Chains A and B, each alone.
Chain A
Amino acid sequence: MAEEKVPPTSKEINKAIRSYADANKKSVSIDRIKNNNHIAVGLDKPVKVTIERGPAGDFFGALNAGATLIMNGNAGRFVGSTMSAGEIRVNGDVGEGLGVYISGGLVMVKGDCSGSVGGRMKGGVILVDGDVKGEVGESMVDGEIYVTGDVTGTIGGDLRGGRIFVAGKMPELHDNVKVRPLGTKELEAVKDYNGRFKFRKFQTQEALNDFRLIEKS
């Protein structure tokens, strides 16, 4: 993977990324960004974008529609907002609004999140290998959210559909949702994700049994 030096503004960084994607290059690496907002947004080509050092600002990877985005560092608010396909991985903490409005694809965070995770999501998968300090799955319609750590805010407020998996501590649930242990298929799915992403909090396969499933009652 060739390392490319790119100019510092969001517009210039995005222009460079887009030119690589339009040229059907498979990958592009960016050495460093400094709190730039809107990095790698609206990409619909299957390009792999790696950012070696952060932090990223708000809306990292928003409107992604097919790219694989890797952020080695923290990111701001609304990572992956309104994404429809592709994959986003953040190796660090993120701000509020992770994966709001997503309708497809996968967002993975190895770190802690502020609230509003997966709000109004209509599909896709969100994985948080850490704690969520706030709400999860507000007005969620479809898709899946996995949290390996603790959740401090409301889970599934106004939940319409979809499934939320939490392994850590969680607050008392509202009447609109119910909680149950994982079935065989659901446990297999968790194990698959653990095999792929190596959850930090789970050193043994048995520990994955801590996950519980929250869905609409």
Chain B
Amino acid sequence: MRIALIGLDCGTPGLLFDRYAEEMPTLAALRARSLWGPLESTAPPITVPAWSCMLSGLTPGELGVYGFRNRRDHGYGNLAFATSRAIRAPRLWDLLGQTGRDSVVLGVPGTYPPSPIRGCMVSCFLAPSTEVEFTFPPEVRDEVQQVTGGYTLDVADFRADDKARIAQQVFDMTEQRFALARHLATTRPWDFLAFVDMGPDRLHHGFWKHCVPDHPKHRPGNRYADLFRDYYRALDRHLADFLEVLPDGTTVLVVSDHGGQPMLGGFCFNEWLLREGLLTLSSPPAGPTPIGKAAIDWSRTTAWGDGGYYGRLFLNVEGREPQGTVPARDYETVRDQLIGKLEALVDHEGRPMGTRAFRPQQLYPEVRGVAPDLIVYFGDLRWRAVGSLGLGQGLYTFENDTGPDDANHASQGVFMLAGDGLPSGRADDMSIYDVAPTLQHLFGLPAPPGQRGKVLA
């Protein structure tokens, strides 16, 4: 058995299966012989931890990783980046290595620093630069640099107004990633090859409103209106070139970690907590101030939030946080009250926002590390959570308070699995937790403890 996993970060069902399907003949032909459909992502649907969840079969709660930065302890502000070292569970390449099989891993989020595997690994966009040791074995670095002419970890300076430069870098990064995948596929021994292209994610964040009419700020005929179409045409050509070099009989999986959707605006999470009397400052912010730098009077604070594509709400609990104010016996009552308030939020026009707030314990079979007390999807992720204070725009922001961003994540990604003797056709009940059990099954590996996903094929 030989399997090639082609990861498209933020690959979105509505774009790949519908809107641009006719522009992508290679993907369409692959889909025609695949088991395919939308793939329910992790909660929250965030790149880190989603790829690690996909390839370990475990939830963010079991991994103890809830986003790019996680609280290291219950102090105020002691955050740690979720690097590969935070992922303690074996991922598929680890299991294969234990049975003497080789893997090539390229750009899969959650792989910096690179770890020793049987095969080779080029780590992900969380590598600080290509000056550091970002490959395993280390000598692969020179080969990668030579083949690519300088490996692109990610699009640089993404939050900028020079859209033409950003678009070009996204196209170039995708071309380079597929070219390197082709090189590694044809020069290394492998049973499992997994690579992830971040291009779709960067493209969606940078250009959704230009390209997709479902964004409220879409203007037909704008300069970049055809950028998504052109990008997906190019991606399809790269896909064709990659499939061409795969040995006969290779099983192919095209998969994404989450989808995308238009972002309507930002909800000022901590500004709202201030107004609710749940967050108290010792002095007002002089201007836009990240919550981590705000002068918080912890002795009079019930809750605070971290922003991003989803909101993380933390309660200031007696005996847990250094200056906790919520008695432990009132913890669930306060949490329930907050869920009620959050889910009753209205948008800037007074309409129900459709916010959902989750207790980690209801999402995960185990909650490890320091989880948020509530995971909040403002407007079901159509609004992002703005953690900064002092923006002076009330509760809702629509412009570039932290830079342009057109898209938020959505809970459904894509799945297409094609191989000799495997079933084909559409399925609508697939989960990101099914990926690892399915690939393990195809490789004849037993399921490690804790996995709850099902074998799809």
Partners in one complex: no
- A interface residues, Cβ below 8 angstroms from B: none
